[in-house]
Structure 1
């Protein structure tokens, strides 16, 4: 049992290691500040453990937070999430128990922006197809018509110009891309000028003009199915769609039809619904689609920064101080 540490506050985590557990390399840092309690330990000794837990650290959406769990934790004060998106949580329910919430926007923005640009470049230059040809035992050479499209000088449309979207724009500027963006609120003039971005008040305008459409909106009820058949139909047949937001932002069946019929050139998806997709899903059978397993901010450095940000928020909440990344119910 991972107990000890005297008066250290109890921190509930799903598990250590495994598919959804906190990383072994983070344990020593967490144990400097908390008494770690796994869900298995909690469930095996609920009566004793329930009063010890003062905080929960969610690592990739685990453990699941429901009314039953919240009712069983009378001293719970704060839940810290290992990422920016909070769409997997019932924020109203959690707040009704007097529990504060925090996310980790600072830690994830640069690495997620890198993932967005990696997908854009990989799709443009057909890197996955090229790799499969290079390692094939039956192909002797690459066909002359394995042609990609230029990124330099192309028009990039960013839907969602928050911290991640803005860092994508900074990267795209280095490729001399023409940058359009659509956002709920317009950026300051000096911020637009710094990356050479032009604001599109209507998303439809962006969709009609962009060679690459990159979706980086925050996952909210308002952004669910933001892009469907009508929106995809506005895109150029030579355009590529990149999604690093959430799978639910797209109508996946409409996207599948658009890719099959040539309504758009290609798609690169780091997020799907569900994750992973069923093995027989049509999107997995198309050559003009790249699907990655929600790599987003998954780098060693970002993962540790996420945990550092979570600890900072939890300690602030437990000490009655302002939380740097507090999330309030909308």
Structure 2
């Protein structure tokens, strides 16, 4: 059997954007990320992972997780940083994810919000990701305990689960003047403005159109606008779009932490896989998963297309249920090894 390897990308900047000032988002402390990663490391070892490759960062999240283990804990997993030059920019995340995918790791555990996972999804190819929520807009990643995340990543990397442990997520492709320029995992919002400014999006002023891959009433962010009218789950083979009306209000939705705002909306329009929605009347900005990203100048032509080509994602519950059916937790070799640790 090939060496079992798992990747960890913990974004030190997730959970720290301007929405802490303009909304009521909680600062997700990096020390808490250290604690989560420590539990992931220990659970990966228990699952039989031999090697963990991680994105280095200026806070040293993974290194501090290892250094903070109790002296009586015998930790036998080999830790390796991705050989990259840190810039402190979002490109660090993409560089690490691309390197991990190229090396054929069995699974990548991500700590961040929708924005972090959007960067990883663009370059991870067919390597499955297990998103752990530590950001602001957390529709794509779930709140999952680090121990459980580590076990699920381990059984997926080892192939000790069943096929339904992974699902292919949907995505929204942004096409500008005939060229694909970016993608979103959850929502793409067309804004009536001429320049990007602060990237984080938290208000409804100037919103023209919201296009989503999914949207449920328990979501936070602009996907919740669709979710509060006509919910769409991550597994349904469709998306939706809705126009924002400048006059009148007929809906309230949780747009950002602590901000349940009234909005005026049109009817929800279903969007089939492969179908596109036009980006009308530039100039405008398209925000992706809660952050302003793509500028359209006057004369530019573009559209937003729903595709089934997002990243492979680990369904934690199904992964562990599959491991149970395969007898993973009753394996005598694993039990002897854990008893001797």
Compute the TM-score of the two structures, normalised by the length of structure 2.
0.32
More strand by share: 2
- Larger relative contact order, structure 1 or 2 (CA cutoff 8 Å, min sep 6): 2
Structure with greater helix share of residues:
1
Larger radius of gyration: 1
TM-score, normalised with respect to structure 1: 0.33
